[in-house]
Amino acid sequence: MSAPLLDALRETFDALPASRLAAGGLGAARRAQFDAALADGLPGARAERWRYTPLRALERRRFGRADALPDIDPASVPAANLPRLVFVNGVYAPALSRVDGLPDGVALYPLSQLLETGDARDAEFLARRFPARDETFARLNAALALDGLVVRVAAGVRVATPLALVMLGAPAGGDVAVHLRHLVELGDGAELTLVEYQAAAAPQAHLVNSLVQAHLRTGARLSHVRVQREDAGASVFARTDAALASEAHYARVDLELGAALSRHELNIALQGRGARAASNGVLLADGKRHVDTRLAIDHAAPDTRCDLVWRGLAADRGRGVFHGGILIRAGADGAAAHLSNKNLLLSPHAEIDTQPVLEIHADEVQASHGATVGQLDERALFYLRSRGVPEGEARALLTAAFCAVVLEAIADADLRASLDAELSARLPQVAA
Amino acid sequence: MATERTEIERPEIDQALNRRYDAGFVTDIETESFAPGLSEDVVRALSAKKDEPEWMTDWRLKAYRHWLTMTPPEWAKLDIGPIDFQAISYFAAPKARPKSLADVDPKLLETYDKLGVPLHERARLAGVAVDAVFDSVSVGTTFRKELADAGVIFCSMSEAIREHPELVQKYLGTVVPIGDNYFAALNSAVFSDGSFVFIPAGVRCPMELSTYFRINAMNTGQFERTLIVAEERSHVSYLEGCTAPQRDENQLHAAVVELVALDDAQIKYSTVQNWYPGDENGVGGIYNFVTKRGDCRGAHSKISWTQVETGSAITWKYPSCVLRGDDSTGEFYSVALTHHRQQADTGTKMIHIGRNTKSKIIAKGISAGRGQNTYRGQVKVEKTAEGARNYTQCDSLLIGKKCGAHTFPYIEVKNPGAIVEHEATTSKISDDQLFYCRSRGLGEEDAVSMIVDGFCKQVFKELPMEFAVEAKKLLEVSLEGAVG
C-alpha cells in the first residue's frame, strides 16, 4: 500500500547492519523516527507547508543506497583551496577531504568517525525527535543518516579560513537516496565561515536528504554560504535548524541554482537577547526545475533582529516557491524583522508562488515584508539596447543587477567573488 | 446581554439535544420554531415553511447532502471549539423581545449614546418591538416605488424566489457554488433569508441600497443569503450592516453573498459589522463565518468591497473577486479590529483570469487587549491574465502586549506579463507620535484615536460619507479601555 519511495527506504533500513544503526546508543531512536515516517507517509497536497510542492511523482520512485566510492577527479571538487569534508553519494571520501592545518580549538571530522570511535554523548544531537507529521524528510534523516560533517569551534576561537562541506552526487549504477546529518557548534564568541556545496560530479537522479543543525552560543558568529547546483535530474531536500543564544549572529547566503526538485527549509530560532539573523538568497527555477525555499525565523527573545533578502527567477517551465515566515513571540519586545522578496517571471509557462508571512504576538516590534512578481524593466532594457548592448546581454546584465543585492552581504571578498562567479555562470542561461 | 448569548450552553438545550428526533417532527411544522437539529427533513420542512418551489427545495437538499461529506476548515488561525450543528434551531420565530427600552441592558444603551444613535432607532436596534414607534413599513414602501420606477428589483430573497424565479435560478450559486466550502454549503441548505438586488442594463441605482435595508431587513436570521446582479453598464452601491451593536439571539452566523457584474457594470459593497463580540473574558459573542464573492463576469466591470469589522467573537471572512472579464477591476478595503478576546481571520482573494485585470487590496488590522487579528489574502494570476496588476498593502497596528497581528498572503503568478506587489508592516503606535499629540495638549485616548483614524483613513475614504463618520466613532468606542 505504501509508496514505492518509502518501501525502498524500508528495504535500505532493514538491510543496514544493526551495529551501525545502534552506534551511539541511537538504535531505538532511529527505529522510532523511521516508524513515524512510514506511518504518516509523505506530506500530501493538503499539508499546508507543502501546498506548492507536490511529491506525488517522487513518491513513485525507488532509491537504493550507495556504499562504494566512485572515482572522482579531485580537480572537479568545489572549494579546492579550503579545508573540507567531501561526501560522495552520502559516503565520506577521505581522499578528497582535507582536515589538516586547522587552528587550535577547531574540531572537524565526519559523523561516521564520531559514531565509530567517539564519545556517545557527542552524538546525542542525533537522537532529536521530529514530532510534526509533515516532517517526513527530517524523520527519515534521523533514521538513516550515518554520516555528515561535524564541526565544533571552542569558545573565543575565530577561524579565519572558511571550512567547506561538499556533497557530491555521482553515478552509482542506479538512483540512490543520500542521507546526511551535520552539526555545527560554536562556543561563546567563536567565529566561523562555512561554505556548503551541493553539487554533481556527473549526471544522476539521486535523492539527497541533508540536515544541518547549528548551535551558536553567546556572541558566536557564523557565516554560512550554500551553493546548490545539483544535477538537473536530482531531488534535494535540505533543512537547516539553527539556534542562536544572546548576541549570536548568523549570516547566510543561499544560491539555489540546480536540481530538478529542491526544497530547503531554513529554521532559525533567535533564542537569546540581541540574537540576529541575516539570510539572503537567489532562487533560480529554469528548465523544468521546481525550487522551494521556506524560511521560519522565530523571534523568542527581546531585541532580536532578522533581515531577509531573497530574489527569485522563474523561466521556461520552472516554478519558484518562496515562503518567508517570521514569528515574533510574546515577550520578544524590541524585535525587528524585515523581509524583501522580489521575483522575475520570465516565461509564460513558468510560475512564482510567494508567501511572506508575519505572525506577531508582541507590540514593541518593527516588522515588515514586501513581495513582488514582475518582469525586467522594459525601459532599462530599451536604454541598454539604445547604447548598443545586444538584447541577450542586456537581459543578462539586468538580471545580474536584480540579484546583486543578495551577495552584498558577504564580507569576505574572495568568497563573494566565487559566489558571483557561480551566479554569473547560470544567469545568462536564464535570461536568454 | 452576555447571559442571553450563552443560551446554547443552557441545560434545557442539552436536554433537547440528547433527545432523539421522532416522527412527530413533521407535524411540528405549523409551530413557530423548529426544535434544534439538522436533517433532510429539517431542510424540507424549512423549504416548505417558506413556500418554496420544488427546484429550491432540491437545491437546498443537494447542498445539504454535499455538506454532510465536508469537514469544517481548520486552516484559519482561529481558536474555536467544535460547533454542534445539531444544537441549532434552523427555523426560529423571533424570541420574546424586551417590551421597552427600560428592559434593555443599560450597557447597550450607553453605547448607543456614545455612537449618537437617534433615539427612535435605539429601540429597533435593541430588538424592542417597534412597529408602533417607528413606521418602517411606509418608509420602505416609499423607497420601493422609487426603485421600481428605475427598474431596480430590491426585495428579500424569499420574495425573489417567488416573484423572480428565473433570475434567481440563473444566478444563485453561480458565484459561490453550493459545495464551495463548509459554511457556504450549510448556508445553501438552510439559508433563512437575505436580500436580492437586480439592476437592469444601463441603470444607475438611484440611491444607496442601505436605508431601506437598515429599516426593513433586520432579523433576516443567522443564515443570510444575498445575491446582487448588475447587468451591463449598471451601477449600484450596497450598504450592509450597521455601526450600532445589534442584539442577536443566534451565536452562529454563516452568510453567503454573491455579486455578479456584467460588462461595464459596477458594484460597490460596503459592510460595517458590529455583532456582539463577547465580553472582556471572551464569553459569548457571535461566530461569523461569511463567504462573500464577486464575479466580474463582464469586460470593464468593477467590484469593490469595503468592510469595517469590529464585532463578533470570531470573524472568518474573505470577500473576493473573480476577475474574469477583460479589463475588470477588483478592490478590497478593510479595517478589522479585535479587542478583548476577539479573533479575526479575514482578507480577500483576487483571482485574475481576464486580460489587463487590476486589483487593489488595502487591509488594516488593529489588535488590542488579547485580540488576534489575521490578514489572509490570495492573489492569483492565471496564465490567461496578460497584463494583470495587483497592489496589496496590509498594515497592522498593535495596542498592548497580549494581542497578536498576523499576515498570511498567498501570491501565485503564472503570467509573465503580470505585476504583483505586496507590502506589509506591523508596529505599535509609535511613542514619537503619541508624544507629539500629547505635547499638543491631546489626552492619551484622543491621541490614540486620532492616530488610529489616520491609520484607517485609506479605507474610511472608500465608505459612503455617513458610514465613514459612524465607522470612525465605532472604532473609538470599540477601543475604549485599550490604552493605558
Give the tens place of pLDDT for each residue, B409-459: 999 999 999 999 999 999 888 888 889 999 999 988 889 888 999 999 999
Question: Which helix (H) or strand (E) element contains residue A165?
Answer: strand A163-169
Say which residues have a Cβ less than 8 Å from residue B298's Cβ, sequence separation at least 6: B232, B261, B262, B263, B264, B265, B325, B328
Yes or no: say if B424 and B407 are a contact pair by the CB < 8 Å rule.
yes
Given B408, B418, B428, which is nearest A373 (Cβ)?
Answer: B418
Yes or no: say if B313 and B2 are a contact pair by the CB < 8 Å rule.
no
Contacts of A367 in chain B (CB under 8 A): 425-427
H-state helical runs in B191-254: 211-216
Count contacts between A and B (CB, < 8 Å).
Answer: 110
Contacts of B412 in chain A (CB under 8 A): 52, 351-353
- Reported as a pLDDT band with limits 50, 70 and 90, residue B219 is very low
pLDDT the model gives residue B93: 53
- Reported as a pLDDT band with limits 50, 70 and 90, residue A67 is confident
Shortest distance between the Cα of A232 and any Cα of chain B, in A, equals 22
Yes or no: say if B410 and B379 are a contact pair by the CB < 8 Å rule.
yes
* Position with higher pLDDT, B450 vs A155: A155
Shortest distance between the Cα of A325 and any Cα of chain B, in A, equals 9
- Reported as a pLDDT band with limits 50, 70 and 90, residue B247 is low
Lowest mean pLDDT among A164-173, A210-219, A294-303, B24-33: B24-33
Yes or no: say if A426 and A284 are a contact pair by the CB < 8 Å rule.
yes
Residue with cell 509557462: A349
pLDDT the model gives residue B1: 35
Q: Return the domain boundaries, chain B.
A: 101-478
Percent of residues, chain A, with pLDDT higher than 70? 99
pLDDT (average), residues B464-478: 81
pTM: 0.88
Whether the predicted pLDDT of B13 surpasses 50: no
Yes or no: say if B391 and B358 are a contact pair by the CB < 8 Å rule.
no
- Reported as a pLDDT band with limits 50, 70 and 90, residue B278 is confident
Which tens digits make up the pLDDT trace of B177-208? 999 999 999 999 999 888 899 999 999 998 88
- Reported as a pLDDT band with limits 50, 70 and 90, residue B9 is very low
pLDDT the model gives residue B484: 52
Cell output for B355: 486580460
Q: Which of B336, B222, B225 is nearest to B273 (CA)?
A: B336
pLDDT the model gives residue B216: 34
Whether the predicted pLDDT of B3 surpasses 80: no
Percent of residues, chain B, with pLDDT higher than 90? 50
| CA–CA dist A387, B336 (Å, integer) | 51
Q: Do B427 and A367 touch (CB under 8 A)?
A: yes
Contacts of A364 in chain B (CB under 8 A): 428
Whether the predicted pLDDT of B19 surpasses 70: no
pLDDT (average), residues A152-177: 96
- Reported as a pLDDT band with limits 50, 70 and 90, residue B282 is confident
H-state helical runs in B180-331: 182-190, 211-216
| CA–CA dist A66, A208 (Å, integer) | 12
Whether the predicted pLDDT of B21 surpasses 50: no
Q: How many CB atoms lie within 10 A of CB B441?
A: 8
Q: Which residues of B touch A (CB under 8 A)?
A: 75, 77, 381, 383, 396, 398-428
Say which residues have a Cβ less than 8 Å from residue B156's Cβ, sequence separation at least 6: B193, B194, B195, B196, B217, B220
Bin B415: left if φ > 0, else alpha if -120 < ψ < 50, else beta: beta
pLDDT (average), residues B457-465: 87
Whether the predicted pLDDT of B68 surpasses 50: yes
Using CA atoms of A230, A235, A240, A241 in order, give the dihedral in degrees to the nearest 10: -170
Question: Which helix (H) or strand (E) element contains residue A252?
Answer: strand A249-256
Whether the predicted pLDDT of A271 surpasses 50: yes
Q: Return the domain boundaries, chain A.
A: 377-432
Shortest distance between the Cα of A78 and any Cα of chain B, in A, equals 35
Given A350, A361, A373, which is nearest B420 (Cβ)?
Answer: A373
Yes or no: say if A372 and A324 are a contact pair by the CB < 8 Å rule.
no
Q: Do B404 and A354 touch (CB under 8 A)?
A: no
Listed in order, strand segments (DSSP E) in B50-114 are: none
pLDDT (average), residues A200-218: 97
| CA–CA dist B132, B124 (Å, integer) | 11
Helix then strand then coil, in percent of chain B rounded to 5, is 30, 30, 40
Interface test with B, best of A360, A365, A369, A430 (most B CBs within 10 A): A360
| CA–CA dist B43, B61 (Å, integer) | 7
State the amino acid at position B323 in one-letter form.
L
pLDDT (average), residues B234-246: 77
Yes or no: say if A240 and A210 are a contact pair by the CB < 8 Å rule.
no
Work out whether the CA dihedral A8, A10, A14, A18 comes out positive or negative.
positive
Work out whether the CA dihedral B243, B245, B248, B250 comes out positive or negative.
positive
pLDDT (average), residues A390-401: 92
Yes or no: say if A413 and A420 are a contact pair by the CB < 8 Å rule.
no
pLDDT (average), residues A190-216: 97
Lowest mean pLDDT among A141-155, A309-323, B34-48, B122-136: B122-136
pLDDT the model gives residue B103: 67
pLDDT the model gives residue B194: 83
Q: Which residues of A touch B (CB under 8 A)?
A: 48, 52, 330, 343, 345-348, 350-375
| CA–CA dist B352, B362 (Å, integer) | 17
- Reported as a pLDDT band with limits 50, 70 and 90, residue A195 is very high
Whether the predicted pLDDT of A243 surpasses 80: yes
State the amino acid at position B352 in one-letter form.
H
Bin B127: left if φ > 0, else alpha if -120 < ψ < 50, else beta: left
| CA–CA dist B259, B227 (Å, integer) | 6
- Reported as a pLDDT band with limits 50, 70 and 90, residue A98 is very high
Q: How wide is the angle at C-alpha B213 spanned by C-alphas B135 and B167, nearest 5°?
A: 125
Residue with cell 442577536: B248
Q: How many CB atoms lie within 10 A of CB B291?
A: 24
Distance of CA A310 to the CA centre of its chain: 14
Interface test with A, best of B378, B407, B419, B429 (most A CBs within 10 A): B407
| CA–CA dist A420, A424 (Å, integer) | 6
* Mean pLDDT for chain B overall: 82
Which tens digits make up the pLDDT trace of B33-43? 677 888 999 99
Yes or no: say if B298 and B327 are a contact pair by the CB < 8 Å rule.
no
pLDDT (average), residues B323-327: 98
* Mean pLDDT for chain A overall: 95
pLDDT the model gives residue B211: 44
Distance of CA B317 to the CA centre of its chain: 7
pLDDT the model gives residue B7: 37
pLDDT the model gives residue B258: 97
Q: Which of B180, B200, B388, B414 is nearest to B289 (CA)?
A: B180
pLDDT (average), residues B361-373: 94
Whether the predicted pLDDT of B131 surpasses 60: no
- DSSP letters spanning A393-407: HHHHHHHHHHHHHHH
Cell output for B357: 485585470
